[in-house]
Structure 1
Amino acid sequence: MVDDSRRNLFKTLLAGAAVAPLSARTVAAQPVPQGPACANSPTSPSWGRGLEGQRKADLGDGTFLNPIVSGDHPDPTILKDGDDYYMTFSSFYSYPALIIWHSTDLVNWAPLGPALTESLGCIWAVDLCKHGDRYYIYIPADPDGSGWSIYAIWADDIRGPWSRPVDLKISGCIDPGHVVGEDGRRYLFVNGIRKIRLTDDGLATDGDLEPAYQPWQYPQDWVVENFAPEGPKLLRRGDWFYLVTAVGGTAGPATGHMVIAARSKSIHGPWEHCPHNPLVRTTSVEEPWWSRGHATLVEGPAGDWWMVYHGYENGFRTLGRQTLLEPMEWTDDGWFRATGGDLSRPIRKPAGGKAGAAGFPLCDDFSHNRLGVQWAFHDPAPNERERLEYRDGGLVISASGRSPLDSAPLTCIVGERSYRAEVTLDLLGDGAEGGLLLFYNHKAFVGLGFTPQQSKTFQYADELPWMRKEIPTKSVRIRMTNQDNVVTYHYSHDGGKNWVLHDHRMEVSGLHHNVFGDFLSLRIGIYSAGEGSIRVRDFTFVAV
């Protein structure tokens, strides 16, 4: 169990690549065309557009276009609860963690808030389920880097409050999948594919971890990352238990990850391989979505059936694994198959659903004592929340570390191929330093920072000393434009009336898992380092 100092972590937050240099001459005091800060950008010929011009899956004509949740939302676990659907995802090193999303039609999703406020270190591939009248999330976590275990949290209301984590002491395991067997007992399946019986309350084990299923093997000449049987999700329908599994590795080659299935009349087996395996797999780098896998079956509002899984967007691994929805059908022999076809084309929406809110605004004026659901610290220390204070019209972030290399930035997931973000930073103290980043992890980020004396440029986790400029300032507005993975910075000292073009552009398409590991995405980040504090004001975002 984690210590008491972690219990209070973020508790108050529940309310809610190569260089392409420009001219050596900076373009000073030149106004840059800018759209309304939080308005919709022009409609894309493909996706619908919602708040701030962000991609919207629902096209408004009875069809949708994937992804249903854009940006880094991998390992989806989905729960149908009456007419409502709930979903959460791997949150890795971000805290507050495990944002619960809600939908009534499987296409339009909006966040409710975080389920976990206590740091458990890195979190992978959780399982959200309901047993009786109680909700559970089973969480693989590595709190101190010494090894994985599976924890559980529970709530009587999906909106919380959620309990403190309970360590089930299932060591060395990830990717839990909860199921109730024909004997009425509760079980978790985990990577491997193995299973272990739980007590009736679901908060302790009641038996030993044992092999459950030897997955179907793909042909040896297929180009995959590795076998890696993981992500077991189970469903009981009629006389059969269906076990859906991911194999082939979750990253690596675009053709690696895939979805397979098996069935049995007993939770204890024997399991029969699905004759349609693999049910989902990327077979060509020409496809719009790569490394597709980690699927869950879910019944639609009118009784049709769907698969929810994740995949990388072709050309945009930097966005992480995004959430995809594909129709499926049950066959006469009691199996099922995916029927979505080309996922670059619109698909008919699930029948019978009622469209609700989709997405949420990323803009934040930081005028309220409430950190928005879009913000999370990367790999925070137990006392990270103590760095934050709302005062004088903004969010004051106390310094931590000497630079972005050893400071936990406040980050925001982005789901757009191209976008513009702006923020105003007030430097409070002669030793203050702050800036705006595109942050993958502490080994991989780019950005622009300021002290009261000078500007700093960061490229791929290195500061470029030769790019330093003597620019005395107490307040600066920074604009970052990411156009198809090419990043341009501007800055302004008069509140955005006149802008200076920073004379260094960066190409960031290589900042993703296959280069730097960790299964993360490239996120907007705000850092505060050195000595003193920064005050953050008026963050704006728009898709471009």
Structure 2
Amino acid sequence: MTNNYQALLLTLGLMLCLSACQPAGNAPHTTAAGPAASTAPAATAQFNWFDYQGRDAVFAAPLPAGSYQNPVAAGFFPDPSITRSGDDYYMVASSFTYTPGLPILHSRDLVNWRLLSYALTRPSQLDMAGLQVSRGIFAPTLRYHDGTYYLITTVVDRGGNFILTASDPAGPWSDPIWLPEVQGIDPDIFFDDDGKVYIAHNGDPVESLYEGHKAIWLWQYDPHSQKIVPDSQRLLVNGGVDLSTKPIWIEAPHLYKHDGWYYLLCAEGGTADQHSAVIFRSRSLDEPFVPYSGNPILTQRDLAADRPAPITTAGHADFVQLPDGSWWAVFLASRAYQQRYYNTGRETFLLPVSWQDGWPHILPAGQSIPYRPAAPALQAAPVAEPLTGNFSWRDEFDSTRLNLHWNSLRQFDQSWLSLDGQQLSLQAKAEGLDSLAQPAFIARRQQHMHFDASTSLTLPQGTVSAGIVAFQNEQYHYYFGVRSNAAGTELFLEQANGGKAAQIAGLQLPGTAADIRLKISGDAGEIAFYYALPDQDWLPLTGPQDAMLLSTQVAAGFVGTMLGLHSRLEAEASQ
């Protein structure tokens, strides 16, 4: 390591020490005003705006009167759980290692949702440093009871199951109440009408008989002592609907009480194309739960693979009852291209629940999930930043507070970014996108198969690169960046396709320019990269590239592609 590089690291350390601390409570996106552009440190990249445009054909036609658009939350909003407080509906989704974590969505009509806040906003709540993207926060349950909101979830590889509480879903949320006795994932919290509280969850069976054999367990919970009641564990479901068929991955339990019956809603079949929702019931929590003979009550696995605009992976549902007595279900599913590939992750869909012979039904066997069903009988309440349809979204970075749609990775620290009301500054880090540390990287969800994402940035000086990213995980992503070199300005494209990132295209620009625009255009299984100098048109850096490597089927894991901005200290600094 050279003396110059040591000096650079020392300077960066001093800058971090002098940065304003992240405020406590529910304001993780508030940052100290950054320096003016003319005085920004050399290791800082500055972005002028970020623009996102969705253009999916299934959203293109005008929405018919009295209908709504599925998915209601497009893009990476998996494992939805919903609760009602009066005329307000709140929903939460899994966030894995993205921070802030556990996004809270709000609606007055069930179909128009807005991102309200996050439940995980500060280091005192948990630490996910070093975790791979698809670890961290798994499926949560959100419930409102007697003036308090409850969130129960799992942080995988870093402490297990815990409960958060809040008097206002906008936050702040409490520090975790840890539940060491509760092993497994996907916990549910249920408030019985006799005042008792129960936690159901996925876990290992007493004896594992085959790969994917799981069970659903139940504990009693004492909300006053905030502890599990000793010796209260009991088995609810072993394996799934029919153990003789070797069902896999019974999980995502939710308990309800209706007309004197206890109902247990679960997911079964894994999170891919065999996914489903199944239902059980019992007269008492002390008696066996009996599966419905008409299970599954939701799946798309029995449909032809070559159907147009397929919706796949449907399952993992939660119910909510409206003031008029009707029931609705939110659930995850994915919009696929080429029959089975999806880059947008698992999305949140909505359908009505009908009751027949004492059993709830979401969708009859053999029917496709509709994109535009009849809306619930609630007053429509459109939002400024929609989560579905062919919307446009633009951040001018004209605030000192980072927009709620931006996320970073693993840690809650944001001392490396600042907003001065005109630009976003990202202080470059040595960590790249393949690191299990926290890179200088913010991103928002890809919510369409067909999209344009673009930005304008001030060219970084010195051994720094900056640019725009399409990120699935550490081993599958694209980084389209710009850096200075002895000859002027270099554009480059890095691709990570199952391992370390490698440069696959580059272009040397003559001289230097103050600003440059970069754009990513997605077209289902293809992705293209463009640049533009001031007052000039877009030009391609190279031909279209493979976007299927950003799909869950190739990259694996449980997240969707995120689109965002990155700044990195270049390797030349250590030479």
TM-score > 0.5, shorter chain as reference = yes
Contact kept, 8 Å, 2:26 with 2:117, in 1: the verdict is no
For the 8 Å contact 1:438–1:446, the answer to whether it is kept is yes
Question: Deviation of residue 39 (structure 1)?
Answer: 10
* Partner in structure 2 of residue 336 of structure 1: 360
Could you tell which deviates more after superposition, 366-375 or 311-320?
A: 311-320
SS of alignment partner, residue 317 of structure 1: coil
Aligned mate of 2:144, from 114, 117, 130: 130
Is the alpha carbon distance of 1:108 and 1:531 closer, same or farther for their aligned partners in structure 2, counting shifts above 3 Å?
Answer: same
- Following superposition of structure 1 onto structure 2, how do residues 7-86 of structure 1 map, counting pairs within 5 Å? 12-14=27-29, 46-47=58-59, 59-86=63-90
Residues 399-410 of structure 1 aligned to structure 2 (within 5 Å): 399-401=428-430, 403-406=432-435, 407-410=439-442
Per the normalisation by structure 2, the TM-score is 0.78
1:523 aligns to what? Answer: 562
Number of aligned residue pairs: give it: 486
Distance 2:336 2:538 in 1: 34
For the residue of structure 1 that corresponds to 2:553, the secondary structure is: helix
Return closer, same or farther for 1:318/1:170 CA change in 2, 3 Å cut-off: farther
The structure-2 alpha-carbon separation of the partners of 1:408 and 1:298, relative to structure 1 and needing over 3 Å to count, comes to same
CA contact (8 A) 1:198 1:206 kept: yes
Percent identity between the two aligned chains: 25
**1:329, 1:368 → 2: CA distance?**
46
Deviates more, 1:161-170 or 1:287-296: 161-170
Give me the whole-angstrom Cα distance separating, in 1, the residues matched to 2:470 and 2:454. 12
Query: C-alpha offsets along residues 288-327 of structure 1, whole Å, 9 cap, x if unaligned?
Result: 2111111112223533222211112122521101111122
- Checking the alignment, whether the CA contact within 8 Å between 2:405 and 2:444 is kept in structure 1 is yes
Instruction: For 2:404, give the aligned amino acid.
Output: V
Kindly tell me: are residues 202 and 188 of structure 1, through their superposed partners in 2, closer, same or farther at Cα, counting changes over 3 Å?
farther
Match in the other structure for 2:403: 372
User: Partner residue of 1:289?
Assistant: 311
Question: Out of 533, 536, 539, which is 1:497 matched to?
Answer: 536
Specify the alignment match of 1:459 in structure 2: 495
Partner in structure 1 of residue 549 of structure 2: 510
| Secondary structure of the corresponding residue to residue 514 of structure 1 | helix
What is the CA RMSD across the aligned residues, in angstroms? 3.0
Residues 198 and 207 in structure 1, CA contact (< 8 A), matched pair in contact too: no
Residue pairs, 1:362-511, within 5 angstroms: 362-380=393-411, 384-391=413-420, 393-401=422-430, 403-406=432-435, 407-453=439-485, 454-461=490-497, 462-465=500-503, 467-471=505-509, 473=512, 475-494=515-534, 497-511=536-550
* Offset of residue 531 of structure 1: 6.3
Give how far 1:468 is off: 3.3
Residues 481 and 492, structure 2, Cα contact 8 Å, conserved in 1: yes
Aligned match for 1:354, one of 377, 380, 383: 380
* C-alpha deviation, 1:276, in angstroms: 1.5
* d(CA) in 2 for partners of 1:505, 1:368: 35
What do residues 392-417 of structure 1 show as CA deviations (whole Å, max 9, x unaligned)?
Answer: 72111111225433335211102112
1:55-78 deviations in Å (ceiling 9; x for gaps)? xxx925001231111111110000
Cα pair 2:73 2:349 within 8 Å, conserved: yes
CA contact (8 A) 1:105 1:301 kept: no
How far apart are 1:391 and its partner, in Å? 3.2
For 1:202 and 1:264, how far apart are their aligned partners in 2?
28
Which residue in the other structure is 1:53 paired with?
A: none
Aligned 8 A contact 1:301 1:353 in 2: no
What is the CA deviation profile of residues 511-539 of structure 1, one whole-angstrom value per residue up to 9, with x for unaligned ones? Answer: 2333323201111021111069xxxxxxx
The AA in structure 2 aligned to 1:452 is: S
Task: State how far apart, in whole Å, the 2-side matches of 1:135 and 1:59 are.
Answer: 34
Q: With structure 1 as the length reference, what TM-score do the two structures score?
A: 0.82
- Gaps of at least 5 residues in structure 2 are 1-20, 32-49, 129-135, 203-214
Contact 1:281 1:291 in 2 (8 A): yes
SS in 2 for 1:515: helix
Q: CA contact under 8 A between 1:10 and 1:95: conserved in structure 2?
A: no
SS in 2 for 1:323: strand
Deviations 1:87-139 (A, max 9, x none): 01001111111121111221111111112103533101011111211111112
Equivalent residues of 1:300, 1:350 under 8 A apart: no
Aligned-partner Cα distance in 1 for 2:371–2:148: 39
SS at match of 1:401: coil
**Alignment partners' CA distance in 2, 1:189 and 1:344:** 31
Name the residue aligned to 2:205: none
Question: 1:124-170, CA deviations, whole angstroms, 9 ceiling, x for partnerless residues?
Answer: 1011111211111112103xx3x551122111112222112232224
Residues 297 and 363 in structure 2, CA contact (< 8 A), matched pair in contact too:
no
- Unpaired stretches in structure 1, ≥5 consecutive residues: 1-5, 17-36, 50-57, 533-544
Q: Distance in 1 between matches of 2:26 and 2:169?
A: 17
Task: Specify the alignment match of 1:194 in structure 2.
Answer: 217
Alpha carbons of 1:392 and 1:61: their partners in 2 closer, same or farther (altered >3 Å)? closer
Closer/same/farther in 2, CA of residues 48 and 502 from structure 1, 3 Å limit = closer
SS at match of 1:528: strand
Aligned partner letter, 2:114: A
Go from structure 1 to structure 2 and tell me whether the alpha carbon gap of 1:41 and 1:247 turns closer, same or farther (over 3 Å shift).
closer
Distance 1:375 1:399, change over 3 A: same
Question: In the alignment, what sits opposite 1:326?
Answer: 351
| Structure 2 contact 83–91 (Cα < 8 Å) conserved | yes
Distance 2:251 2:188 in 1: 10
Secondary structure of the residue aligned to 1:510 is helix
* Structure 2 Cα separation of the partners of residues 178 and 354 of structure 1: 30
Question: Residues 182 and 267 of structure 1 are in contact (CA less than 8 Å); yes or no, is this contact kept in structure 2?
Answer: no
The aligned residue for residue 54 of structure 1 is none
| Counterpart residue identity of residue 388, structure 1 | L
d(CA) in 2 for partners of 1:7, 1:187: 36
Aligned CA distance change for structure 1 residues 202 and 244 (closer, same or farther; 3 Å): farther
1:140 to 154, 157, 165: 154
Confirm whether residue 212 of structure 1 aligns to residue 243 of structure 2. no
- What's 1:92 paired with? 96
SS in 1 for 2:74: coil
